[in-house]
Amino acid sequence: MELTALKGIGSKTAEYFGKLGVHTQEELLEFFPRDYELFFAPVTVSEIGYKTFAAVRGVFTQDLFQRRVKKMTITTAQFRDEVGNTIKVTWFNAPFMKDAVHPGELYVLRGRVSRKYGVLSLNQPKVYKISEYEKLMNTMQPVYPVTKGLSGTMIANAVRRAMEGEAFHRLDLEDPIPGEIRVRYGLCKKSYAVSNLHFPESQNAYMAGAVRMSFEEIFLFILAMKQSETGKRSASSIRIEQDPRTEAFLKNLPFSLTNAQKKVIGEIRDDMTSGYVMNRLIQGDVGSGKTIVAIAALMNAAFAGYQGALMAPTEVLASQHFETISRMLKESGSGLNAALLTGSMTALEKRVVYDALEDGRIQIIVGTHALFQEKVKYKNLGLIVTDEQHRFGIKQREALAMKASADDPSIQPHMIVMSATPIPRTLALILYGNMDVSVIDELPGGRKQIKNAVVDDSYKENAYRFIEKETAKGHQVYIICPLIEYSEGVDAANVTDYTEMLKDVLNENITIGMLHGQMTPAKKNEIMKKFAEGEIQVLVSTTVVEVGVDVPNATVMMVEDANRFGLAALHQLRGRVGRGKDQSYCIFVCNNNSKEAMQRLEVLKTSNNGFEIAAKDLELRGPGEFMGIRQSGALSFKNFDVYRDADIAQKALTAVDDILSGRLRLTKAEEEILREKSSLASGTILL
Ligand code: ADP
Ligand code: MG
């Protein structure tokens, strides 16, 4: 149903929703909060430290002061906490504030913190009566991913309206989970789930909803996968041997391969000469050296006269792979040609690459999903490697596998997918279906162990001085924040404000850059390039840096609000440092000073194994404590969480088997709904 049928949503607003991928009321209802805000106990002024956001309890010392500057009303006040320290408070264009609050009465103020010339102030805070704030402290408030023109409140209001309408009503009628399965696994109704994911009545209701939506997603996914052609073992016309020139190249590397790398290279060689199409997943922790394994396979294909493609999930990563590969091809005197193909290239640049691919002048092509757009024609594609493959959909993978070669349309290319996501074997078998799995279970030797620290925010001062010392030695630093920019009342560091704050706090000679997912690919590339070349010394970023980037000169990784991330995600982030010869450091900052959260983070100090860490994380947090923590970097499902929901996947698999084998009889209506939804799923759910 049309979004504009909802009261208060005009075509302009509908357009903004479109930017978030929400085009209909149905999509709006399943546009779930990214996070839930829990209201923490207020702090005193001195406890604000380097927080960029805070709630303070106290009183206004006198009447609010109001003045006009140009067309703006500026309201300021002094606010005193309970131990007698004051903080400046500022509102812009909020003239009503003057009459809304009364000096001497107790309030909680919650807003952004800024520091100008050493003066601490709270900007644009929301004002709560004490009783109001205390009530909020026991609730979960939805936090939506926002966009220009749409605030969280507007989204919440739109959802509320949709929940009164017919689209909501139909949720249960068109439930893709057949009734019998719902009963068998004790899953709640869809309408209940949707309503409690937006506005949880309680934590239990939230969990019931989360479990149900997770089941639905993975159930449809497995169903689609079982019906898809990818991964079926089929005969191959391509045999690719290990070429002596590749052997020589590997021998001449500045390092020697680990035994694990040699083992996997061997497995790939066996596959590519077996007479079947290779379909292999390579799992290896960050830094285990997957890239070189891929390069060896690509070279073998090229020497055998076939083209090879290496596909990465981001432009940044694609460029980096391209540079590594072309340097290696050149240095080794292989005579092979590599090229880069990404979406942000100009039409002309692309044209040149298309032509060279079609006539075979390019043997190794590196790029993003631009590699398998329809316009791209290959002369004879023999091998496809996808890096960090979880970002690609089943349908995309199929499109790639089906990419016919001009020379011989019957050629089915070999496939390698590489992933650093540590997931248990049983789950891998469900999610990757009929792929063979190789594991690189050994890190290259000679690396210094990363030194880890788990700290609360009182340590920040030391951290900044430490960062200055490291940059003085010529090293570089990553600082990770959970958010891109200030988001209505979310108590977490954001890249934009943090970068500003750092300019104040760090030695002014240090160049600070920022990076986040809402920048254009070209901009991201530019920043990453500057960082890789050492021009930017401190990079403040969201987790976009997490996927595969390699800057060996970076020695410090500091993660703000580390407690907001899953341990596996933090481990992935940590893999960005410790890649060179110098000692590297990770600083995990837990800004809410919670003991339990810090204890959980301590696991990162005792283990360096992604698989182990993910398992431990599950054990330490009960399933109920998963709220708000997204294991970013893990498979991109919307509701299914790889770490939390392994047993849900098992049940969904059983359910799918029962349906496909006919053991479980569906009604005609159920069958119809399922057919429609599962064909949709294969196009939209990412693996
Ligand atoms: P990942 O598995 O995370 O993709 P990379 O392939 O990016 O890891 O490798 C990380 C770094 O380790 C690269 O700089 C790479 O050149 C280096 N490397 C790979 N294999 C070895 C090895 N056997 N010994 C030493 N360094 C290696
Ligand atoms: Mg990698």
Write down the domain spans for the chain.
40-138, 171-234+645-687, 237-440, 451-626
Cross-strand pairs, 73: 68
Return the ∠ at Cα 374 (arms to 373 and 377), rounded to 5°: 95
pLDDT at 684 over 60: no
Alpha-carbon span 2 to 25, nearest angstrom? 6
Average pLDDT over residues 635-649: 77
Alpha carbon distance, N-terminus to C-terminus of the chain: 28
Model pLDDT, residue 160:
96
Alpha-carbon span 236 to 233, nearest angstrom? 9
Give the other-Cβ count within 10 Å of 637's Cβ: 18
Model pLDDT, residue 430:
79
Model pLDDT, residue 348:
95
**pLDDT: which is higher, 432 or 129:** 129
552 CA closest ligand 1 atom index: 14
Of the listed ranges 143-147, 367-371, 524-528, 537-541, the one predicted with least confidence: 143-147
pLDDT single digits (tens) 260-295: 999 999 999 999 999 888 989 898 887 889 999 999
CA distances from 493 to 24, 335, 378, 436 (A): 32, 49, 46, 41
Model pLDDT, residue 115:
77
Place of tokens 């068109």: 174
Does CATH number 3.40.630.30 belong to domain 237-440? no
The finding on whether 313 has its CB within 6 A of some atom of ligand 1 is no
Residue of the nearest CA to atom 10 in ligand 1? 287
Token output for 310? 């290496």
pTM tops 0.85? no
The finding on whether 293 has its CB within 6 A of some atom of ligand 1 is no
What is the spatial order of strands in the sheet that 476-480 belongs to?
Answer: 451-456, 585-590, 554-559, 476-480, 538-541, 512-515
Alpha-carbon span 154 to 570, nearest angstrom? 32
Q: Is 438 helix (H, G, I), strand (E, B) or coil?
A: strand
The finding on whether 257 has its CB within 6 A of some atom of ligand 1 is yes
**pLDDT: which is higher, 21 or 250:** 250
% of the chain at pLDDT higher than 70: 91
Average pLDDT over residues 358-375: 91
Model pLDDT, residue 593:
66
pLDDT single digits (tens) 407-462: 787 788 898 988 877 677 777 777 776 678 898 988 888 778 899 999 988 899 99
314's CB contacts (< 8 A; 6+ apart) are: 368, 521, 524, 544, 547
**From ligand 2's centre to the CA of 341, what distance in Å?**
18
Confidence of residue 634 (pLDDT cuts 50, 70, 90): very low
The finding on whether 580 has its CB within 6 A of some atom of ligand 1 is no
Q: Which CATH superfamily is domain 40-138 in?
A: Nucleic acid-binding proteins (2.40.50.140)
Pairing relationship of beta strands 119-129 and 107-116 according to DSSP bridges: antiparallel
Matching fold, domains 237-440 and 451-626: yes
pLDDT single digits (tens) 295-311: 999 999 999 999 999 99
pLDDT at 189 over 90: yes
- Mutation choice for ligand 1 from 255, 265, 582, CB with most ligand atoms inside 8 A: 255
Give the other-Cβ count within 10 Å of 671's Cβ: 13
Q: Is 379 helix (H, G, I), strand (E, B) or coil?
A: coil
- Mutation choice for ligand 1 from 261, 265, 291, 324, CB with most ligand atoms inside 8 A: 291
Confidence of residue 397 (pLDDT cuts 50, 70, 90): low
Of the listed ranges 16-20, 229-233, 309-313, the one predicted with least confidence: 229-233
Q: Which secondary structure element, helix H or strand E, spans residue 56, and what is its range?
A: strand 53-60
Q: What backbone torsions phi and psi does residue 468 show, to the nearest 5 degrees?
A: -60, -40
User: What does the DSSP assignment read for 621-658?
Assistant: S-GGGGTT-B-TTS---SS--TTT-HHHHHHHHHHHHH
Q: Mean pLDDT, the chain, as a whole number?
A: 86
What is the spatial order of strands in the sheet that 414-419 belongs to?
Answer: 338-341, 364-367, 307-311, 381-387, 414-419, 279-284, 436-440
pLDDT at 631 over 50: no
% of the chain at pLDDT higher than 90: 49
550 CA closest ligand 1 atom index: 7
292 CA closest ligand 1 atom index: 6
List the CATH code of the domain at 451-626: 3.40.50.300
Amino acid at 39: F
Cα Dmax for the chain: 84
CA distances from 503 to 420, 500, 509 (A): 34, 5, 10
Q: What backbone torsions phi and psi does residue 493 show, to the nearest 5 degrees?
A: -65, 140
Model pLDDT, residue 560:
94
Q: Which ligand is nearest to the CA of 389?
A: 2
Return the ∠ at Cα 364 (arms to 332 and 259), rounded to 5°: 60
